[in-house]
Amino acid sequence: MTYETLNFALRDGVAWITIDRPAQFNALTLAAMRELQAVAARCSTDDGVRAVVLTGAGDKAFCAGGDVGAFAENADALPPLLTEMTASFHLAISRFSWMRAPLIAAVNGVAAGAGVSLVAAADLVIAVEGAKFTSAYTQIGLTPDGSSSYFLSRILGPRRALEFYLTNRTLTAREALEWGLVNRVVAAAEFHDAVTKLARQLAAGPTRAYGGAKKLVQMGMNDTLESQMERETRMIVGMGATADAREGVRAFIEKRRPHFAGS
């Protein structure tokens, strides 16, 4: 399957998704959000996908958010356009969040608006040294979407999340690291190799266990201690029946590196 606004490639268990609108700083149109939904569904249902990398084309922007030019062109019909856009975008975020394969956001430049939402929803984030992060929603009289208000309030805390939204301050890559929005900042010359190394490491891991860990973290945000521990029990018992668990235990006893099949 080919896409008009995205590039997709699956290599050695790693799905590489590149938002491909560099002239528009990889801003998302309705068509782009629909394609993002389609590719998220593809990654979440393909057992051959064991890690996913999401990035932007070029070296200036990861994703500048929704295409404000399209908003201006449809100013008299903005509410129905936003309804359609968020329907696709939110389904994409949901698929990425609940799929077994870990999602790496490789932030190669500016991340704004919906771009920050994609960063916040990712499992791990590597940013290039010159990357910048800003909300930009209230700057044009809009409010956050794309799970931003859910994940950012949990990652940054409510005070910093509101500061981010209300002042539209721009975070440097280093500030984003200090705030906990990204996991690692690397120099431009090392960026691709660092992303590739992490993606390959995850693709060789126990994919079902990764998916289970993702679910536990997500669901634990809104539950009691006892309910979460019961969920942990059920999850680890279920994982105990997998081929990867058996392989992991054998490898530990035999003092060798495990060879996980993702099953």
Residues 101 and 73: their CA atoms lie apart, in Å, by: 37
Tell me which of 67, 123, 145, 244 is the catalytic residue. 145
Enumerate the β-bridge partners of residue 103.
Answer: 52
Task: For residue 90, indicate whether it is catalytic.
Answer: yes
Q: How many CB atoms lie within 10 A of CB 80?
A: 9
Backbone φ and ψ of 63, nearest 5°: -165, 125
Asked if residue 28 lies in contact with residue 65, where contact means CB atoms within 8 angstroms, the answer is: yes
3-state secondary structure of 197: helix
Instruction: Say what angle helices 114-121 and 148-156 make with each other, to 10 degrees.
Output: 60
Residues 176 and 184: their CA atoms lie apart, in Å, by: 9
Tell me which of 12, 20, 76, 90 is the catalytic residue. 90
Q: What is the CA radius of gyration of the chain?
A: 19
Query: Among all residues, which ones are annotated catalytic?
Result: 90, 145
